Chain A
Amino acid sequence: MWRLVREGVRFYRPVLLISWAFGAGIFAAVLAIIAVVGSAQDRSEILKVGVQIPLPILIASVVAAFIAIGTERSENRVRMHLMLPASIGKIAVARVLLPTALFLIGLAVSHVLFAVLLALQGEPALSPRHGNVDFIAMQLLFWVQVPLAIREIIELRHRVRWRGALPPKALLVTAVALMALIQLGSWDSVPIRAAGAAALVVLVMAFTVVLFVRRTQFTR
């Protein structure tokens, strides 16, 4: 399983780096425009805006994760992986872990850049504000995982009647509703909200794995 994820990350590493370059480049261009034509022309004001760098890196990582999901599907990777002497459970877990791993690498980079920029601003590098990055990241990761879950529900509909697919559909809709509740709820604790979002991510991943393992058709 880990080998599958590791090889997948190796394959999509250029995509991830190019996405980051684009994200950071666009962000730097925006900063430059603000510095030239905007009101925030001194260094400290630019740095205040600059600490938002985790956001473009995270979004670029989401783009890379979506490219990975789409490419795996278009290149019919499941077929190749199922021919390997690896259990279907491991293949299923690796399938959801690959986009997650790409995204989590982006999250780690975001934290490092955030810490550096906080330090440059004179704030503690390990500020509690890192919790905000985690919370945003878990929300984005949730939406990275949802298409994989939807794909499994579509596959399920090919083999069961519509009533049979209702419970999984209801479960997924509930997960989306819970995510909305976590996003819009009035809790003050960011770490708890981030943990809640992370728990939902794990739930959706487990949901996708279970449906994949129960498939009766792995090629079309």
Chain B
Amino acid sequence: MNSVPAFALTGVVKRYPGFTLGPIDLSLEPGTVLGFVGPNGSGKTTTLNCIAGLVVPEAGSVNVFGRAADHRAPTWKADIGVVGEAHGFYRGWTANENLRFLSGFYPGWSNQRAHRLAVRLGLPLDKKVEQLSKGHLAKLAMVAALGHGPRLLLLDEPTSGLDPVVRAEVLDVLWEVLEDGEHAIFYSTHVLSDISRLADELVFLREGSILLRSSKDGLTERWRRISFRLADTDVAVAAAVEYRRVRAEHQVVTDDGEATLAHLRELGAEAIEQSRMTIDEIAVAILKGGNHVAAR
């Protein structure tokens, strides 16, 4: 098994006026999908750009498959594919001409793979890029990123602004890419429904700092919404992230359902009801909870 991480960020810091990313320590193992979740302006794109080499951090190091992400020795770039909203395609050329351009730079480029993907996605290769719809542009970006068979795929909101049908097609292709178990995907988004199917792990980012990293299954297993009745007006409930009281009924969101339930039984709570939370709901609670969650 390959023990070299697909990427490793160590103490990465990037400063902008009014915003600082990091220090960020983050790595991704081959064969896994990491969802990178955070609100707009939290630093998701900056982090992804640091890995892709589009932003040079002021401190820390970036390694891709064990090689420093150094622009002077660019072989590491052959291992990554990037999909973002900005693409840089030649708008006056057809999709096919753009793919032909890219194929000349990558030793591992496979026209067969690119064309198969294009057909699979219904991408009109003979249309000029300037005539492509937003959905087709996203598909072209996906084909361009996968044409050279990268081992690491960096996705920056690849389905942003796409209709549900195109979004489903793109996600299906990613799912197929994952089938061989060798690809690593770093998926930055604020739309949790996109990655709830794909991601093995989720990292939550807010205001440039990582709040929490957890497996997706672990989150859905632990996080609960619990309601109960208790005569006391003010209750400090174990592991509660959110707390609300309506007369005698108390509601909590907890990041450790079992610990909360045990504590409530100790307190003598009655009419305890619990429900599982969706990844979307958990993400909102985490990002709202901020440091409270991060401190756990």
Contacts and interface: CB of A to CB of B under 8 A. Distances in A.
A71 to B, nearest CB: 8
Among the interface residues B49, B90, B106, which one has the most CB atoms of the partner chain A within 10 A? B90
B40 interface: no
A215 B91 CA distance: 26
B102 A84 contact: yes
A189 interface: no
B54 interface: yes
A67 to B, nearest CB: 11
Nearest to B88: A80
Interface residues on A, range: 20 to 34
A84 B77 contact: yes
B74 A86 contact: yes
A218 B54 contact: yes
B204 interface: no
B18 interface: no
A213 B56 CA distance: 11
A217 interface: yes
B186 to A, nearest CB: 15
B106 A79 contact: no
Interface in B58-99: 58, 71-75, 77-78, 80, 82, 86-93
Interface string B101-112: 110111000000
Interface in B9-23: none
Interface in A72-95: 75-89
B74 A88 contact: yes
Contacts of B124: none
Contact of B54 (A7, A79, A87, A213): A79
A83 B82 CA distance: 8
Contacts of B92: 11, 14
B88 A87 contact: no
Contacts of A43: none
A219 interface: yes
Contact of B106 (A80, A85, A87, A88): A85
A3 interface: yes
A213 B209 CA distance: 29
Contacts of A85: 74-75, 77-78, 105-106
A216 interface: yes
B73 A87 contact: yes
B104 A75 contact: no
Interface string B207-251: 000000000000000000000000000000000000000000000
Among the interface residues B55, B74, B82, B92, which one has the most CB atoms of the partner chain A within 10 A? B74
Given A217-B56, A218-B55, A84 B105 contact: yes
Contact of A219 (B49, B58, B89, B104): B49
B72 A89 contact: yes
B52 interface: yes
Contact of B74 (A78, A79, A87, A219): A87
Contacts of A215: 56
Contacts of A78: 88
B54 A75 contact: no
Nearest to B57: A216
A178 to B, nearest CB: 31
Contacts of B106: 84-85
Interface in A106-128: none
B145 to A, nearest CB: 8
B53 interface: yes
A79 B88 contact: yes
Interface of B: 49, 52-56, 58, 71-75, 77-78, 80, 82, 86-93, 101-102, 104-106
| CB-CB nearest 5 A-B residue pairs | A80-B88, A88-B71, A216-B56, A79-B88, A85-B78
26 contacts: A3-B104, A3-B105, A11-B92, A75-B89, A76-B86, A77-B90, A78-B88, A79-B88, A80-B87, A80-B89, A82-B54, A83-B52, A83-B77, A84-B102, A85-B74, A85-B77, A85-B78, A86-B74, A86-B105, A87-B71, A87-B73, A87-B74, A215-B56, A216-B55, A217-B54, A219-B55
Given A79-B54, A87-B74, 11 more contacts: A7-B104, A11-B93, A14-B92, A75-B90, A77-B90, A83-B88, A85-B78, A217-B55, A217-B56, A218-B53, A218-B55
